[in-house]
Chain A
């Protein structure tokens, strides 16, 4: 390897029982732009967070210009010349753009007072290289694409040897993207090494010198971009054996033409537009797409958790007026949030109290009192049915494992006898055993006639569990795959818009405007 600036050697990182990275090695040459690819959950973010000092590796070493270094904190990473442009914008919304840009420098400086005039002048110089944004404005007042540019400007001021861009163009217009690419190429000429994370194949092939593919926390391949085609990268990202066992799918003869849920031209004027979905009786419908494609927002729109401005929702052919989530629940449409701890379960409260939350009216007697016996019975019934492993129904949900917490969340939905359940990442962060139990449960529910929609970032889950998959890109349905057409490559192609660059660019500029 010619002049490796940064060498990651055999790095392993666990989160509890989950191995996020296994023995990953990665090397970055001076003045190269190195793309990092992989599906959601492949380990890209973990690796970048290790380089940026946010996380510490369990095993392995990091060698920077020949010296083994320990990167204990983001500040340490910055002083070593390692900068990270976060995918999620991490600005102080109440501080000015200038203060944001020089936040790191300011926290290091020794002088007692701030020299605002100097700060603003220097910040404006940096900012002007990207876009004419007034650095005296508050960061929080800027539109998202400008905030992203401020985030980039912030990284440029760090005197970096290595600069990491984590999906920097997600919120940028085409014109802004071109300017950014010019700047990145300029950095490269100055000998700065760039790690560029993106799902957009066109960008990778336009900008980068080499590409490294991660899959399931393992290093798969590092090749010069010139030797590859976009399809090759997609294949490298996927090519895995499905080792997990899934419950049997619907047989051809079992397929029904009875529509349970039909979503027509749903839009919210912001995150998604013109979404059409039909869910048949007895099937599990998968919804795929990249994180940020609008999958969750669409699900929230369907279930009345997010205001929609156009379109209609029909349950068993009858149009539903869903203004809020209570309406949706009454109509028989329930949503299981992807964020289990944040908005799925009540951790401090008992299992019984969690399971009964949607069903309080049915458990309430004439005096407005809860029938404690009926509540315990309801919880006990579901606990048995779903095989929730627990001490008693009075134990708090926080005492359960992730898989059992998720079963409580599902029991909560089932308690109201729904017609359709929309599940966002139903098995995220759950161990394999519980995962397969939940998959079996979902199949049973589907067979019993409840419509199931599963949103998942995990391709094996989508393909292994679902009878049909819809892929969302940039807030609209990019395509639909039936059992015969379903493959990981097909999903990734639809999700990342290979062969569909024009549509993507058009949407990107609309998005920013």
Chain B
């Protein structure tokens, strides 16, 4: 009996580790397979231009995914990220139009986004509402703010100074700054998530809030600050979008939150909290981006695209559920 349990344990631990990395390896394999298939299906797919476009398309969203993943690990969710991205964009944009320099305007936009996160964090931790409902209300309220700030019309920001536009449009030896920023954020947070004490508490809280509480971790603080972090990163993404597009539309980012959550979940973040990796989430959004690009190149009607992406999400979540059930038993 003893030998038997020891035997299964000796096998189990590495197999679990393989399962963890399998998630990412599996995603990479799927992405590669899709790329190879597409290279045959469309001559335009395997071009530098297309890859650059794909990378650009998910780089900024990728920054939002980082925040969302950490929030999912703590057991929360933020439906307001799309609105907050837009809010940072239109607030910074209108401050710029009011005469402020774009850097200060952007900083204020990011801080205001952090404040929105703080308000949602307050409702979650002090008032005691759940993340879903709080951020659902936040999504609608912040979208309303965007419409109020812009009076419903897009802001044209072509007067932005070139130095600021360079952040979103320029490149360093052919490598767009956007991609450099994106990679920096990902590497930084991936490292912190594995090593920083503060972010370790995110795992404890999300894995078993009661046990974390019984270990002296102030779980409400953790939840509050992670909520703030998620909104702050969304605001950061918003000002990069502003720089990139040279415009701020009050309807920008509608539905973005679903893409972000889908990416994190495809990448292995659990909606029950306690698990998730930055790398997985980034691969998740890369997959969605490759799918979108493929559908466009294959001339699949726009009307079909959402449905196909939804099916991919459903499949990924089902696999996650299946794996969790197996792990529990």
Contacts and interface: CB of A to CB of B under 8 A. Distances in A.
B16 A343 contact: no
Contacts of B196: 368-370
A337 B214 contact: yes
Contacts of A392: 13-14
Interface string A369-387: 1101000000000000000
A329 B216 CA distance: 8
5 contacts: A343-B214, A353-B200, A363-B197, A364-B197, A369-B197
Contact of A325 (B11, B13, B198, B214): B214
Interface string B81-116: 000000000000000000000000000000000000
A390 B13 contact: yes
Given A368-B198, A391-B10, A391-B12, 4 more contacts: A347-B207, A353-B204, A357-B215, A392-B13
Interface residues of A, number: 39
A176 to B, nearest CB: 33
Q: How large is the interface on B (under 10, 10 to 19, 20 to 34, 35 or more residues)?
A: 20 to 34
Contact of B216 (A325, A348, A368, A401): A325
Nearest to B211: A343
B2 interface: yes
A358 interface: yes
A329 B14 CA distance: 34
A362 B320 CA distance: 35
A358 B13 contact: no
A311 interface: no
Nearest to A363: B197
Nearest 7 CB-CB pairings of A with B: A391-B13, A395-B13, A326-B216, A343-B210, A346-B207, A364-B197, A348-B274
B19 to A, nearest CB: 10
A326 B216 CA distance: 5
A479 interface: no
A391 B14 contact: yes
Contact of A346 (B11, B195, B274): B274
A360 B200 contact: yes
Interface string B1-19: 0100110011111101100
Contacts of A346: 203-204, 207-208, 211-212, 274
Interface string A299-342: 00000010000000000000000001110010000010100001
A412 B197 contact: no
A349 B9 contact: no
A207 interface: no
B275 interface: yes
B82 to A, nearest CB: 29
A487 to B, nearest CB: 33
Interface string B210-226: 11111111100000000
Given A353-B203, A389-B5, A399-B9, A370 B214 contact: no
B208 A372 contact: no
Interface string B314-329: 0000000000000110
Contacts of B218: 326
Contacts of B13: 390-392, 394-395, 399
Contacts of A364: 197
